[in-house]
Chains A and B, each alone.
Chain A
């Protein structure tokens, strides 16, 4: 009873404080611009989407002040032209550290209930952003211990004074680490791609893709190749979540890319989910990424060890990769930990071309040229 009265008073106090602040700021609910048939992404209740946060996040995503020496930003390893990958075999951090992993694309990351290649504990973009910012093994943006420097730099930019204030109108001091990661996550959630030629075909335009790509689609969705078991659904990955979906599905698969010890071993430190859980059964298990824009995201696999899509097809045709010599020698097809769907198949040269045509039909030209996803800083330089 008295609790209710106190709560009421608090409300009055807060309302009065807000009125006393410079001007009553309002947040604009972000309106999704979804491709046909796409569900609305699931957004964490503690970070609702607003256009102001998205705008701030876009500035931060492209801002090299988010690195120790002002040379790197999120966009260094996540380039729009490459569907937010970097074209490298493995990422390279600001201090020259070579990342053990290939830069993961951000296409439709809003639909991913688990982030990065193989970390089942990495579930929110808000916290995942801290890894590239503050990680030390390897160093990516190199900000560990420098959060005060970062906040001071941002605070001294009049553009950010406005952007932070409108993105977080209720905060007395909006310049916080948590507000940075929330804004970046909000921007990342807008990176939605679903307007490829294949999507036009899927929604009724029979001429949107070539006959070869249509044959490739049939192969892709066949029990002969089994591709769709891990890369099915609107996002071409089974690991997907969205608003209204009741069950969270997260899959990790060992595809027989390595078998260095005859027991399915992968070379350290890239042991997949195993590197997080330490469970021997998790050896070599990685997330199946979306295949949207896959023609733009090579080199392929978690370590970039397959240079081209042709190499990827050859790997799956063989039912696992064979490495003849060297420290990683082994026959992936004989891995006891390999997914049952990676069983190998035989394609003719024409069928191989068809599958590639299909994969190329998933390239969304509007996504990689959309100005809403590009740098807002061009005119400043």
Chain B
């Protein structure tokens, strides 16, 4: 008897929730929409970036490096039309890789040098866009401000991975690239995230502002989502960096600290201002066109 009541109540809740969902999804009523999958690849130059491999001649010091972690959050993904307008990609929420407007890309597989990682990998961002022709893509590397400064243990996946926590700084690492280099075998890393954050008024408040948000804007105007791949080239990220040395009394590599000059070349590569150096266009993300024989996944 009470069992019956439970299931009836359950159905009522389910119907209610379902109705809400349908309403939300059917908002762009004019015309249809379609699934879009944006593919990414991580490389060191032209070689695929993978755990356990050694890459030579990386950075200004011509170092040999191995990757021990590489993940990043992508948000605010938009597809551009030929007429210059753009539309948001409504990310499909899978409670694993994607949540709201943020998606995790994961280029490590937990093997070999990436022992602290996860076996799962992720090279795509998935969502829906209105039907139509798209000629470009833009997105940001980062976590939406409203989500960036909450208790991460209460956040859904993919915002609950401890390797991406940046709790000392009340936020997340937007991008983490961990390396071992010939000159810094203990590690030389790039951890990008917001710094210079000031607190809210009460203990339950999140930071109200961050002087250096450090989210990265990427515009790729010539990109066909049905054919092309967004390439993340780590050799471009590190091109002007000396990954064999570390400024004394600072984090190993660049953890976004303003007094760490190891960040200068990294921030320049991703188009962010740093110290005296102004921001500009990022040089790390580009459009790659796979050959016809190559299967996209």
Contact B259 A121 (CB under 8 A): no
Known contacts A144-B163, A146-B116: A176-B153 contact under CB 8 Å: yes
Chain A residues whose C-beta falls within 8 Å of the C-beta of B165 in the assembled complex: 130, 134, 144
Contact A44 B197 (CB under 8 A): no
Q: Is A131 an interface residue (CB 8 A)?
A: yes
- Name the interface size band of chain A: 35 or more
Chain B residues whose C-beta falls within 8 Å of the C-beta of A248 in the assembled complex: 201-203
**Could you tell me the distance in whole angstroms from the C-beta of A172 to the nearest C-beta in chain B?**
15
Contact B9 A10 (CB under 8 A): yes
Contact A12 B212 (CB under 8 A): no
Known contacts A13-B9, A13-B13, A177-B160: A278-B212 contact under CB 8 Å: yes
Closest residue of A by beta carbon distance from B6: A16
Contact A6 B152 (CB under 8 A): no
Q: Is B34 an interface residue (CB 8 A)?
A: no
- Name the interface size band of chain B: 35 or more
Contact B153 A178 (CB under 8 A): yes
Contact mask A9-24 → B, CB, 8 Å, 1/0? 1101100110100000
Q: Is A233 an interface residue (CB 8 A)?
A: no
Of the candidate stretches B133-141, B224-232, B250-258, the one touching chain A is B250-258
Contact mask A130-149 → B, CB, 8 Å, 1/0? 11011101000001111100
Expressed in whole angstroms, the Cα–Cα distance for A267 and B249 within the complex equals 9
Q: Is A194 an interface residue (CB 8 A)?
A: no
Expressed in whole angstroms, the Cα–Cα distance for A178 and B258 within the complex equals 31
**Could you tell me the distance in whole angstroms from the C-beta of A104 to the nearest C-beta in chain B?**
14
**Could you tell me the distance in whole angstroms from the C-beta of B206 to the nearest C-beta in chain A?**
8
**Could you tell me the distance in whole angstroms from the C-beta of A311 to the nearest C-beta in chain B?**
24
Q: Is A119 an interface residue (CB 8 A)?
A: yes
Interface residues of B in 242-289 (CB under 8 A from A): 249-252, 255, 257-259
Chain B residues whose C-beta falls within 8 Å of the C-beta of A127 in the assembled complex: 151-153, 167, 170
Q: Is B25 an interface residue (CB 8 A)?
A: no
Known contacts A121-B207, A143-B162, A178-B153: A277-B197 contact under CB 8 Å: yes
Interface residues of B in 104-143 (CB under 8 A from A): 116-118
Q: Is B18 an interface residue (CB 8 A)?
A: no
Q: Is B185 an interface residue (CB 8 A)?
A: no
Expressed in whole angstroms, the Cα–Cα distance for A283 and B205 within the complex equals 24
Expressed in whole angstroms, the Cα–Cα distance for A145 and B119 within the complex equals 12
Contact mask B137-169 → A, CB, 8 Å, 1/0? 000000000000101111000001111010111
Chain A residues whose C-beta falls within 8 Å of the C-beta of B35 in the assembled complex: none
Contact mask B1-41 → A, CB, 8 Å, 1/0? 01101101110110010000000000000000000000000
- Of A124, A135, A241, A278, the residue contacting B258 (CB under 8 A) is A278
Interchain Cβ contacts under 8 Å between A and B, 21 examples: A6-B13, A9-B12, A12-B9, A13-B6, A16-B2, A119-B168, A126-B151, A134-B162, A135-B167, A144-B165, A145-B117, A145-B161, A177-B162, A178-B151, A248-B203, A269-B257, A275-B257, A277-B198, A277-B211, A278-B196, A278-B212
Name A residues whose Cβ lies closer than 8 Å to a Cβ of B.
2, 5-6, 9-10, 12-13, 16-17, 19, 42, 44, 113-114, 119-124, 126-128, 130-131, 133-135, 137, 143-147, 176-178, 181, 241, 248, 267-269, 271, 275-279
| Top 7 A-B pairs, shortest CB-CB distance | A178-B153, A145-B116, A121-B170, A278-B196, A13-B9, A9-B9, A130-B167
